Chains A and B, each alone.
Chain A
């Protein structure tokens, strides 16, 4: 089945630093999505990307849909303590279930 490789698995950064994480797939997707999960909560959608090459921002977050349709990255600029959580990439092709990466656990040191 389809698999997503998400890296890094975890990151420890200082408040104010920029963060980058990425996801690669062995299959092509039509949609890439990035979710964030706070402790004790369900994942929440941050950004959805629908077109190869698309670059989308949401506040301090920027995500790109790779031109090959097999990868995506998420950048967070000027991190703050509330950015702590697990970030999941997800790939979607319309007729198959959403496939999630294994998550990047972000810790921000104040």
Chain B
């Protein structure tokens, strides 16, 4: 069983459309994340949720809205897609120790979004 799974793996869409990426982890972890990796491979955190509560919200346009229905799932919805949103989006999870993340992240395989 895949530990952190995200769907779809590839997504090609037109500018202005709305799309969602789903993520599920079966590791029993408390914290989940969304990272964006640009064409230069730079990894930048977007959001972090701990037990369904938003704890990190970096400078990300309002068009991006995460949703965590339970602690095993963290979905990412993007409205009004723009060309600059093209990237690989990675979901990740980590187990807390004493309420703090250890920094040891488990990543999904990524969802490559191409906006035309």
Contacts from A to B (Cβ < 8 Å) = 31, 33, 35, 37, 40-45, 48, 86, 88, 90, 92, 94-95, 97-98, 100, 102-103, 105
Contacts and interface: CB of A to CB of B under 8 A. Distances in A.
Contact of A97 (B40, B58, B107): B58
Interface string B84-103: 00000010100000001111
A40 B109 CA distance: 7
Contact of A42 (B92, B102, B103): B92
- Chain B residues touching A, range: 20 to 34
Interface centre among B100, B103, B107 (most CB of A within 10 A): B103
Nearest to A29: B103
A45 B102 CA distance: 12
Given A33-B103, A42-B92, 11 more contacts: A45-B106, A48-B104, A90-B103, A92-B102, A94-B100, A95-B100, A97-B48, A100-B42, A100-B44, A102-B40, A102-B42
A87 to B, nearest CB: 11
Interface in B63-116: 90, 92, 100-110
Contacts of A43: 43, 90, 105, 107
Nearest to A92: B103
B104 A42 contact: no
A42 B102 CA distance: 18
B58 to A, nearest CB: 7
A45 B106 CA distance: 7
7 contacts: A31-B102, A33-B103, A37-B41, A44-B107, A97-B48, A100-B42, A100-B43
A35 to B, nearest CB: 8
Contacts of A33: 103-104
B100 to A, nearest CB: 5
